[in-house]
Amino acid sequence: MEVRDLHPWPGTTEEATAIQDRLRPLLDLDSPGPAAPRTVAGLDVSYAGDGGDAEARLAAAAVVLDAATLEVVEESVAVGTAAFPYVPGLFAFRELPALVEALRALKTAPDVLVCDGYGVAHPRRFGLACHLGVLTDLPSFGIAKTPFVGTYERPGEERGSTSPLRDGGEVVGRVLRTRTGVKPVFVSAGHRISLDAACRLTLALTPEYRLPETTRRADRLSRDALAAAPRGT
């Protein structure tokens, strides 16, 4: 599938921040998103050890699922090293080169990208889901296990219960209960999809577990690939 080259990979925090500021106006946060996506891709990255090293080994996985059956349509993985130091708010730059490599290897262009991370629920309103959405021009959103920015009230205990995630008076995401009585997830739009549509799709992708099948399958693939890759790959 096609991923656009819109910028060089940064070498400093100043360069990375400037890229986020330059690409943010390209976001489409008004489109509702596909009414009935046929395929959905999950993206996730696994690290060797604690992943804190400047050049930690990693594996990035892209898994395309049939949106109706949640069966795997295609998968791709790229093994490499972190491309950027760990800097809060710039974490996407550690993973983007490997994720782009994995996406480019796909023959299937999915209807929606689901990232393990954040969209506009980000200090500069440009998290990983926004960045990948702009690079691919595909509808994209993020599902995170914990919040990065903002405050919220606890949603109801029933599956499907929600509460807004607010930052500086702005709603940047939604706290969504995917399983009754289980900790919620944090959903934020990235590009070309509404928050309502992202939450509906999140519920469709979580028939059994707290995390969506997109994330679960991509996480498993990336972990297996990292374990199987010769050290130094």
Angstrom distance (rounded) from CA 65 to CA 62:
10
Q: Which residue has the tokens 């950027």?
A: 84
- Tell which residue, 205, 199, 222, 188, has the closest CA to residue 66: 205
Q: Is 116 annotated as a binding residue?
A: yes
**Terminus-to-terminus CA distance in the chain, angstroms?**
24
Q: Are 59 and 49 in contact (CB under 8 A)?
A: no
Residues 6 or more apart whose Cβ sits within 8 Å of residue 136: 1, 2, 3, 4, 103, 113
- Average of per-residue pLDDT values in the chain: 95
Q: Are 43 and 113 in contact (CB under 8 A)?
A: yes
Count of CB atoms situated within 10 Å of the CB of 154: 10
pLDDT digits (tens, 9 = 90+) for 114-129: 999 999 999 999 999 9
Angstrom distance (rounded) from CA 121 to CA 185:
13
User: Taking the domains of the chain in order of start, what are their residue ranges?
Assistant: 13-228
- Phi-psi group of 89: left, alpha or beta (phi > 0 → left; psi -120 to 50 → alpha; rest → beta): left
Q: Is 5 annotated as a binding residue?
A: no
Q: Indicate the pTM of the whole model.
A: 0.95
From the candidate CATH numbers 3.90.1150.10, 3.30.300.30, 3.30.365.10, 3.30.2170.10, the one assigned to the domain spanning 13-228: 3.30.2170.10
If DSSP codes are grouped into helix, strand and coil, which group holds residue 184?
coil
- At residue 232 the predicted structure's pLDDT band, cuts being 50, 70 and 90, is low
pLDDT digits (tens, 9 = 90+) for 9-35: 999 999 999 999 999 999 999 999 999
Predicted confidence at residue 51, as pLDDT, reads 56
If DSSP codes are grouped into helix, strand and coil, which group holds residue 127?
coil
pLDDT digits (tens, 9 = 90+) for 132-177: 999 999 999 999 999 999 999 999 999 999 999 999 999 999 999 9
